[in-house]
Amino acid sequence: MKLNQFQVLTFDCYGTLIDWETGLWNALQPLLSAGRLAITREEALVLFGELEHEQECLTPSLLYPSLLTVVHARLAERWGARVQDGLHERFGQSVLDWPAFPDSAEALAYLKRHYKLVILSNVDRTSFAHSNSKLGVSFDAVYTAEDIGSYKPDARNFTYLLEHVAADLNIQPTGILHTAQSLMHDHVPARNAGLACAWIDRRAGVQGGATVQPEIIPHVDFTFRSLAEMVERHRSEGTM
């Protein structure tokens, strides 16, 4: 299998293109400071990941900023920190400040010359629009949890993706390579939907962090430690 046999790259955004772990850790600092909490980055991210996934299952129609607000309140309760409600809402808006990975914009600019680029994200359209301004590329289609009414890894998100890529871009599943960091949110349901997968392993093989690990690790067709590494592989193949 080669990268150049595909026509569309469907991307997760947060964790893949946007450095959400750094963004989350930075946004948690007011809570940690207010509660005088001695909690490590890894401990905080792991608990966040568990509570976020649980909340997405409980309230699939809740817009992502509101969902983050709820998760922040749950973190404060779990850690025994009493803070004003405004701090929870501030965290809910923190997506706007999350940085892009250093290689994302340049890599996307290259890939745009060879593929249609599509976003399948667990956030809302407003939050993604702010992130998109940091990525510097115009995506050919953007599908969010706000559009779909559920969060990945719900199979409905990938059904929606396949139906809309076929209708909007006239590309069938065999022409799609799903490109993402999260095995649980993305690669498990993508494989179940019959898609080829490229894993952007931003944590370089180290488990943990803000992404819950699946019980069974799915097969992926490509593994790269960065988007820049994926670009180098494409360059080495040449173009069809």
Question: Among 97, 119, 134, where does a domain finish?
Answer: 97
DSSP characters over 147-187: HHSS-TTSHHHHHHHHHHHHHHH---GGGEEEEES-IIIII
CA 74 – CA 215 distance, rounded (Å): 24
Q: Are both 60 and 9 inside the same structural domain?
A: no
How far is 181 from 225, CA to CA, in rounded Å?
9
pLDDT per position as a tens digit, 158-201: 999 999 999 999 999 999 999 999 999 999 999 999 999 999 99
For residue range 59-115, list pLDDT tens digits in order: 999 999 999 999 999 999 999 998 888 999 999 999 999 999 999 999 999 999 999
Q: Which two tokens stand for residue 46?
A: 């792991």
Helix (H, G, I), strand (E, B) or coil at 203: coil
Number of domains in the chain: 2
- pTM of the predicted model as reported, rounded to 2 decimal places: 0.94
Q: Is 26 in contact with 97 (CB distance < 8 Å)?
A: yes
CATH number at residue 194: 3.40.50.1000
Structural domain for 86, as ranges: 20-97
12 annotated active-site: yes
The string of pLDDT tens digits covering residues 206-232 is 888 889 888 888 999 999 999 999 999
For residues 210 and 24, the answer to whether their CB atoms sit within 8 Å is yes
Domain edge (last residue) among 97, 125, 154: 97
We report the CATH number of the domain holding residue 83 as 1.10.150.750
Q: Are residues 196 and 231 in the same domain?
A: yes
Q: What angle do CA 72, 187, 225 make, to 5 degrees?
A: 85
Residues 216, 186 share a domain: yes
One domain, residues 86 and 171: no
d(C-alpha 157, C-alpha 174), whole Å: 18
Mean pLDDT throughout 16-24? 97
Instruction: Let me know whether 132 and 185 are in one domain.
Output: yes
Same domain, 126 and 200: yes
pLDDT at 239: 56
Indicate if 112 and 200 belong to the same structural domain: yes
Both 120 and 14 in one domain: the answer is yes
Percentage of the chain lying above the pLDDT 90 cut: 89
Catalytic residue among 12, 19, 124, 186: 12
* Position 240 pLDDT exceeds 80: no
The pLDDT of residue 85: 81
pLDDT tens profile 33-55 = 988 999 999 999 999 999 999 99
Both 176 and 59 in one domain: the answer is: no
